[in-house]
Structure 1
Amino acid sequence: MSLHAVSEFNIKQKIPDMNYYFISGGLPSNYGGLTKSLLLRSKLFGEECNRKTFFLTFRFDLELASKKQDLYKNGKIDEKYTSVINLYDDFLSVKTNGKRSYEEKLGLEQIKKQVGMGKFAKTVSRLFGKRNSEISVTYYADGKTIRYVDYWNDKSQLKKREEYTKNGGLALVTHYDEQLNKMFLQEYVNNKNQVYLDKHYVWNSEEKDIQFSHFTWYSLEGEKKVKDESELRQFWIDYLQNENDVPKLFLVDSRPQDKHVFKVKKSPSAYYGAIIHNKHYGNHKYQIKGRYKEVFSQMYNLDAIFFITEEQIDDFRLISGDQETFFFTPHTIDKPLNPNVLNVPSEKYKAVIISRLASMKNLTHAVKAFSLVVKEIPEAKLDIFGSGEDFEKIKKEIEEHKLQNNVFLKGYTNNPDLEFQKAWLTISTSHFEGFGLSNMEALSNGCPVVTYDYDYGARSLVTDGVNGYVIEQYNIEKLAEGIIALMRDEKTHQEFSEQAFKMAEKYSRSNYIGNWGYALNRMIEVREEKAMLFKKIGKKELPISSYTKDQDKVELELDPHTQEDLVKQISLVGLDRKNKAEIINIPLLNDSHFRIDLKKDINIEKIAANKTQVIDFYIRFIGTNHIKIMRRVSSEEIKFDRNHVMTDLGYCIEPYTTVKGNFSWKLTELKEG
């Protein structure tokens, strides 16, 4: 069921007036769909809603300034509304008194004169008195701009490396143990020539290699010893959220960043959320992928989780149960929709794919299917545009099926719209997607889609038999049949093409802003409503007054002590401690009793999928406005006599009281024999 449908009311809702921090680890040179969607969101929040956004990055990057310039120059983001900010460039190097001024460097022009374009040159360094020293220089791809300078002793042992930005600023100095040929210290240098951060390494005799030890940050408040980069990142987020009282949303796009951002203690003016771009489950829908475990574990601390397909919301619910913090915010098409694309003549037997040549795209299946197509339609052609690590693999597949005259690797195209307009159809064979941006782009050009039925986005964009065909995943023969059927049927192609364009209208800019406006305003309301319910329910743990086991049933007695006018439903919930997967959810029997049926009320599939070891228990209160809050169950006054063996389900349960006095179960899988 949809969380909400875009309506006139939703479209009129404005994006709340707050600062928006969209968080990714770094700014890659060749970015994919995740970064594109982040940049487009920044652009549209600014241009459509006049909202200030920040593309927040963590990684140290010598090329960041030039990448930012390219983004602004190419119109990917609007400098008027969006700032690209970085942990090193905009925080650590600025909020510093500096350890010292780095004066040992040689001038770049001096280095160029001495080295020229050769590899080595002898120079007399001011640091080393009269001793001769060698330097070597490495350039950026332009062959002119110095990237780093290496300093060698007279035994050709590396002493030091200076690294420069593309703009010629010294940014990092690495010092080496000349005997071990291993670094022991890295000094980060700001544009005032101050060393603002040290990164220390120590020798590990067991591993016979160096290992990171710690950072020393020379902050405005004094020298800080920092255990790891995660702590540096948390310093920055905490600084940003407390910089002023302006409301802020910290929205994480990149899953590796969750563990850094979500562990910051939330300030009253800050909201925290995650946007889900890719498949979150493993071998089956109860198994949480490793990189998504932090999102699930922080589920009840986050203000919002945003999804780009409704199918994925439903699949999240399978693991976590329903949450009022789930919101549907699909992608948009960054261009005006023009119905004239339907008048561009399409080549009847031509298919096109515009995609990264990556393993997840599974493009060898498209080639295999096309080998079957060509047997029925010898003049059929497939143009594949894009680049990536699977280029040689796809090329080999083409050659093995002798399709060199039918399937062509075309490289990059700077006009994907025209390619989709000229093609009769496009093909999508991914193992999984977050949404399927290429399919959306195809539909906006009236190009029908023949797609595998993958998670996620295939059925969000393609309605089988209406604007394309949705094929059972990995069924190459059926995929070929769909392509052949569409190539042979001009009437169906015309209908599909018109319906494709209509589907694209669902993803217009106005609908995009409407979805985000609804979600963000509701996020703010939910927090306010939760705070009111928290205040009325109270914060204390709820103590168990009795705990009994009778055959296959466990009964708990406790007093939720709530007013009926505040709460419409009360239930006992058992959550996997590590990832908050909902294992148990049973309603209150009467005023004070809960009964757990050990055979029926425990989700063994979730336990097995995620190797659950501990279940923590909570009382969930659902308010009259459907808002949910939870209180931990206390068992300090209870003595647990023995384990409960669930022979039918294959687990042993040990009820116990945690060090904080709360009620939990330890689970042990019973071994056969």
Structure 2
Amino acid sequence: MKKVFMVVHLIDVNKGGMTTAMLNRSKMLVDNGFASDLVTFDYNPKYPNIIKELREIGKLDEKVNILNVNEYYRDLNTSGETDTSYYDQMSQIEQEGYHIQDDEFKTKNYIRYFSNGVYKMYKKWTKTGFLSHIDHFNDTRQRVRREEFHQNKYLHREVGYDPKNNKMNMERYYTPDGFCYLMRWYDSETEKQQQVFLFNKDTNKAQMYKNNKEYHADWLNRICKEEEERPFVICDGPGSSSKVRAMKADVAKRIYMVHINHFEKPYTYGSKVKTDHIDFLENIHELDALVVLTHDQKKDIERQFGSHNNIVIIPNSLPYSEVPEVTKDERKVSMFVRYHRQKAIDEAIHAFARVIKKVPDARLEIYGHGSEKDNLIELINQLNLTEHVFIKGYSKNVKKEMAESIVTLMTSEYEAFGLSIIESFINGTPVVSYDCNYGPRDVIQDGQDGFIVKQKDQKALAAHIIKLLKNPQQANEMGQKGRENVLDEFTNQAVLDKWLNLFKELDKK
């Protein structure tokens, strides 16, 4: 069975369109005879919880695994039972030979430990009573080491600090049975990584890598060589592209995805190229394939970096699904978006201040998560829109919320595709979107299944929203036209054929 690895730095439950696209692609492939795993490089001891939740909400197929470099080498070097003895000892509040300051333990979950008047330890518990970490100090009250505990009650990570500036100079990672399988050194002045050391429990050798790029590329080589057939590696995260390019060329066919607009502001041709895209865009001639989501982006890339006959257009897709059996809420307008400046949600909120002057009982519900949440709430308060605009947080039932809406909005400064447009159409709801690079022009048929509005034209944005709110029958008809378009071009079956054609061509080379 042919394996497809999809590489990205990290996976989490509440990530955006790129993660959604990867998860959907992985299911699409395993349903059609491939094996598929997601490959990550971050350190996150909560991956078992993330996998469990992704499976529960139906985003991660049971046949798809998330492979993590730390978990791979941790498990490879684990031979015994989990040793909880150190955790059991240190999680006790009272420690022999120490005086404790515990007056804030009940409210802030920490205790300080002193030995003969010298501050030695700081212990921090979670609200549920689990010992999270211990900080150790030297005799002059400078932090020198932190011990972090896994949810399975073992020491899993140790961090060393330079007492001169309290910056990290070392990391050690441990197996459940207490073996140190990985160590990193850092320059505490620059905070840059110096070396990575990998240890094998069955030998007396330590493997040294100059940096994470070498370490991660070597691991990718290893997991690819474990496959009977040469696999495909799809690099979905631009920050991981240099690691994929550093792999040995003969161990896999390497495909690079562009999931976002590759330009800096103002995000149009002629703008500076994003730093994490430069590596592979300047080396397109060396790539097995470069996949972009839209025709416009392909044109811009070829215009700047040349045509090398290896750039392929494969849009994101979603599985076919029936429209949920819900009643349209003729006053509900919605957005499904990360709370991020790129998404320019403030544009929609300002436009909605115009909308309620014509449709006083209309409301805008904004679903998502992100760092701009507090700023958006503040803006809503400033515009006196608290009874009309609502920050709803992450939705676990996007289909229902979209299908109930009379229209959905997208006001991004830039995109690479806009998967939420596809999802809105699949659920029978038209879209009003700003005209940004790239995506809306490839999906929305202006005036037929939605409207494309000039960037920053809040007046026109509001006018189209008002039109659909006042004409719900027209909105329903436009939503149905959008669904027909998506079913023809952007469902998994339509897009699967494009991936299969690409795989077939690469196997010939």
The one-letter code sitting in structure 1 at the alignment partner of 2:87 is L
1:112 aligns with 2:82: no
Is this contact kept in 1: 2:5–2:234, CA < 8 A? yes
CA pair 244-30 structure 1, distance change in 2 beyond 3 A: closer
Aligned to 1:475: 457
Partner Cα distance (1:179, 1:294) in 2: 36
Q: TM-score, normalised by structure 1?
A: 0.66
Matched residue SS, 1:384: strand
Partner Cα distance (1:131, 1:402) in 2: 56
1:262 aligns with 2:245: yes
Is this contact kept in 2: 1:55–1:83, CA < 8 A? yes
For residues 564-591 of structure 1, give each alpha carbon's deviation from its aligned partner in whole angstroms, at most 9, with x where no partner exists.
xxxxxxxxxxxxxxxxxxxxxxxxxxxx
What's the offset of the Cα at 1:332? 2.1
1:297 aligns with 2:282: yes
Give the alignment partner of residue 326 of structure 1, picking from 306, 311, 319: 311
Partner Cα distance (2:453, 2:502) in 1: 33
Is this contact kept in 2: 1:114–1:121, CA < 8 A? no
Partner Cα distance (2:365, 2:229) in 1: 50
1:218 aligns with 2:209: no
Partner Cα distance (1:428, 1:495) in 2: 20
Greater displacement, 291-300 / 28-37: 28-37
What's the offset of the Cα at 1:201? 3.9
1:43 aligns with 2:27: yes
The one-letter code sitting in structure 1 at the alignment partner of 2:125 is Y
Matched residue SS, 1:348: coil
Is this contact kept in 2: 1:199–1:214, CA < 8 A? yes
Q: Which has the larger radius of gyration?
A: 1
Is this contact kept in 2: 1:262–1:298, CA < 8 A? no
What's the offset of the Cα at 1:449? 1.0
For residues 229-261 of structure 1, give each alpha carbon's deviation from its aligned partner in whole angstroms, at most 9, with x where no partner exists.
111112112222333551111111111111121
Q: For residues 222-371 of structure 1, what are the structure 2 equivalents within 5 Å?
A: 222-267=205-250, 269-282=251-264, 283=266, 284-287=268-271, 288-338=273-323, 344-371=326-353
Partner Cα distance (1:311, 1:481) in 2: 28
Aligned to 2:174: 189
Is this contact kept in 1: 2:24–2:318, CA < 8 A? no
What's the offset of the Cα at 1:263? 2.1
Partner Cα distance (2:112, 2:473) in 1: 72
Partner Cα distance (1:437, 1:476) in 2: 22
The one-letter code sitting in structure 1 at the alignment partner of 2:156 is A
CA pair 50-203 structure 1, distance change in 2 beyond 3 A: closer
What's the offset of the Cα at 1:453? 1.1
For residues 14-63 of structure 1, give each alpha carbon's deviation from its aligned partner in whole angstroms, at most 9, with x where no partner exists.
xxx521110011223531111121122222211x1132112111122222
Q: For residues 485-564 of structure 1, what are the structure 2 equivalents within 5 Å?
A: 485-506=467-488, 507-525=490-508, 527=509
CA pair 97-421 structure 1, distance change in 2 beyond 3 A: closer
Partner Cα distance (1:119, 1:400) in 2: 38
CA pair 293-64 structure 1, distance change in 2 beyond 3 A: same
Matched residue SS, 2:286: coil
CA pair 298-495 structure 1, distance change in 2 beyond 3 A: same
1:18 aligns with 2:2: yes
Aligned to 1:538: none
What's the offset of the Cα at 1:184? 4.2
The one-letter code sitting in structure 1 at the alignment partner of 2:5 is Y
What's the offset of the Cα at 1:494? 3.6
The one-letter code sitting in structure 2 at the alignment partner of 1:362 is A
CA pair 389-216 structure 1, distance change in 2 beyond 3 A: closer
Q: For residues 131-142 of structure 1, what are the structure 2 equivalents within 5 Å?
A: 134-140=120-126
CA pair 415-86 structure 1, distance change in 2 beyond 3 A: closer
Partner Cα distance (2:458, 2:210) in 1: 51
Partner Cα distance (2:397, 2:249) in 1: 44
CA pair 123-483 structure 1, distance change in 2 beyond 3 A: closer
Q: Is the helix fraction higher in 1 or 2?
A: 2
For residues 362-396 of structure 1, give each alpha carbon's deviation from its aligned partner in whole angstroms, at most 9, with x where no partner exists.
11111222222223333332222233222233333
Partner Cα distance (1:175, 1:228) in 2: 18
Q: TM-score, normalised by structure 2?
A: 0.86
The one-letter code sitting in structure 1 at the alignment partner of 2:6 is F
What's the offset of the Cα at 1:74? 3.8
Matched residue SS, 2:406: strand
CA pair 183-429 structure 1, distance change in 2 beyond 3 A: closer
Give the alignment partner of residue 130 of structure 2, picking from 132, 138, 145: 145
Matched residue SS, 2:330: strand
CA pair 468-243 structure 1, distance change in 2 beyond 3 A: same
Partner Cα distance (1:69, 1:256) in 2: 26
The one-letter code sitting in structure 1 at the alignment partner of 2:71 is D
Is this contact kept in 1: 2:425–2:486, CA < 8 A? yes
- Counting matched residue pairs gives 489
Is this contact kept in 2: 1:466–1:499, CA < 8 A? yes
Partner Cα distance (1:184, 1:429) in 2: 43
Partner Cα distance (1:484, 1:443) in 2: 19
CA pair 35-377 structure 1, distance change in 2 beyond 3 A: same
The one-letter code sitting in structure 2 at the alignment partner of 1:514 is D
For residues 397-453 of structure 1, give each alpha carbon's deviation from its aligned partner in whole angstroms, at most 9, with x where no partner exists.
333333333323333333222222222211211111222122222111211111111
Matched residue SS, 2:178: coil
Q: Is the strand fraction higher in 1 or 2?
A: 1
Give the alignment partner of residue 53 of structure 2, picking from 70, 78, 99: 70
What's the offset of the Cα at 1:335? 4.9
What's the offset of the Cα at 1:97? 11
CA pair 393-123 structure 1, distance change in 2 beyond 3 A: closer
Partner Cα distance (1:261, 1:397) in 2: 42
1:31 aligns with 2:12: no
Is this contact kept in 1: 2:170–2:183, CA < 8 A? yes
Partner Cα distance (2:27, 2:448) in 1: 33
The one-letter code sitting in structure 1 at the alignment partner of 2:504 is N
Partner Cα distance (1:201, 1:345) in 2: 58
What's the offset of the Cα at 1:299? 0.7
Matched residue SS, 2:233: strand
Give the alignment partner of residue 433 of structure 2, picking from 451, 463, 475: 451
The one-letter code sitting in structure 2 at the alignment partner of 1:233 is H
For residues 65-107 of structure 1, give each alpha carbon's deviation from its aligned partner in whole angstroms, at most 9, with x where no partner exists.
332333344432233x22211112213x456699xxx99x962
Partner Cα distance (1:122, 1:408) in 2: 46
For residues 477-509 of structure 1, give each alpha carbon's deviation from its aligned partner in whole angstroms, at most 9, with x where no partner exists.
221222222233345324312202212313223
CA pair 372-138 structure 1, distance change in 2 beyond 3 A: same
Matched residue SS, 1:251: strand
Partner Cα distance (1:395, 1:77) in 2: 32
For residues 328-352 of structure 1, give each alpha carbon's deviation from its aligned partner in whole angstroms, at most 9, with x where no partner exists.
22222245234x75xx543334322
Partner Cα distance (2:143, 2:380) in 1: 47
Partner Cα distance (1:177, 1:448) in 2: 56
CA pair 84-418 structure 1, distance change in 2 beyond 3 A: closer
Partner Cα distance (1:164, 1:153) in 2: 21
Is this contact kept in 2: 1:62–1:164, CA < 8 A? no
Is this contact kept in 2: 1:307–1:328, CA < 8 A? yes
Partner Cα distance (1:435, 1:185) in 2: 41
